[in-house]
């Protein structure tokens, strides 16, 4: 448990840990009905961000949580690798950048899946059954 806490509250994962605390705080406010879940949708251009119809707060939450999990898991693995201290800082910064890149790709992928699912539901499309096999 100490290893996980060191990874979550050490540099550079501390940046995403602070963002995760903000996301959790926002979600608690949404659950208490103090804030609307789509409170940020009027302020951002979702099409330019590649989010489709995914609400901005949801996309930001998915981005932060995914980035945090990837970064903390990578930091734990980096800590276990036994590399010398001179390699630890540059690799942890590269790890943060990689985690943010992957989190962005996963969030965009989720938005694309939701867009395709909602387009199929709007058309009333029913998935076609696969080829049927009959015994002769």
Looking at residue 100, its pLDDT comes to 92
pLDDT under 70: residue ranges of the chain: 41-52, 113-136
- Residue 112: how many other CB atoms lie within 10 Å: 14
Nearest C-alpha neighbor of 54 from the set 11, 95, 3, 107: 107
pTM score, two decimals?
0.74
Nearest C-alpha neighbor of 56 from the set 36, 41, 45: 41
Q: How far apart are CA 17 and CA 69, in angstroms?
A: 10
């Amino acid at each position: 448990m100490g290893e996980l806490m060191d990874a979550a509250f050490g540099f550079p994962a501390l940046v995403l840990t602070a963002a995760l605390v903000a996301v959790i705080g926002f979600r608690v406010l949404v659950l208490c009905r103090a804030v609307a879940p789509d409170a940020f949708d009027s302020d951002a251009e979702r099409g330019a961000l590649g989010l489709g119809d995914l609400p901005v707060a949801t996309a930001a939450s998915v981005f932060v949580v995914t980035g945090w999990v990837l970064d903390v898991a990578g930091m734990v693995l980096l800590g276990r690798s036994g590399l010398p201290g001179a390699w630890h800082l540059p690799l942890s910064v590269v790890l943060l950048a990689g985690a943010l890149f992957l989190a962005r790709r996963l969030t965009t992928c989720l938005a694309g899946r939701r867009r395709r699912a909602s387009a199929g539901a709007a058309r009333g499309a029913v998935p076609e059954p696969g080829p049927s096999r009959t015994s002769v």
